[in-house]
Amino acid sequence: MPANNPKVIVYIAIDNAKGVTQYGGTVAAPIAKNVLNSIIDILNIEKQKDEIPKEFNYIDKVYVKVPNVVGMDKNDATNNLKNFKIEYSGDGDKVIYQSPKEDTQVLEGETIKLMLN
């Protein structure tokens, strides 16, 4: 487990940042995220199977994967997308297209567009 046996240390120092509120979360954190994502790719670190799921606070943004509802009838699609807003277009009862597509990461509660036929 990488957390128990670190191979890399990331230190980001911003000297006299201009034009932004000077908090680590707004200045250094996005840079650290990009560096860490690159390191994960370079070291080919795979996702852990026994990871601890993150617990969210009420102010946290929660991202979820969009399920595939193409081919479902309107009621089944609606039930599968209960954590999203849904916009329908077209006549009919069968989903022939969805946007965003399946497995796309979006904020929980975002709008999913369904085309019906």
The whole-chain average pLDDT of the chain stands at 86
Domain that holds residue 96: 63-116
Q: Do residues 35 and 71 both lie within one domain?
A: no
Report if residue 54 sits inside a domain.
Answer: no
Three-state DSSP state, 19: coil
> Both ends of the chain: CA-CA distance in Å?
49
Number of domains in the chain: 2
Q: Do residues 36 and 74 both lie within one domain?
A: no
Kindly state the tokens that stand for 48: 């852990």
Q: Do residues 67 and 26 both lie within one domain?
A: no
Q: Do residues 75 and 107 both lie within one domain?
A: yes
pTM of the model: 0.54
Model pLDDT for residues 41-82, shown as the tens digit of each residue: 888 888 777 877 777 777 788 889 999 999 999 999 999 999
Report if residue 80 sits inside a domain.
Answer: yes
Report if residue 102 sits inside a domain.
Answer: yes
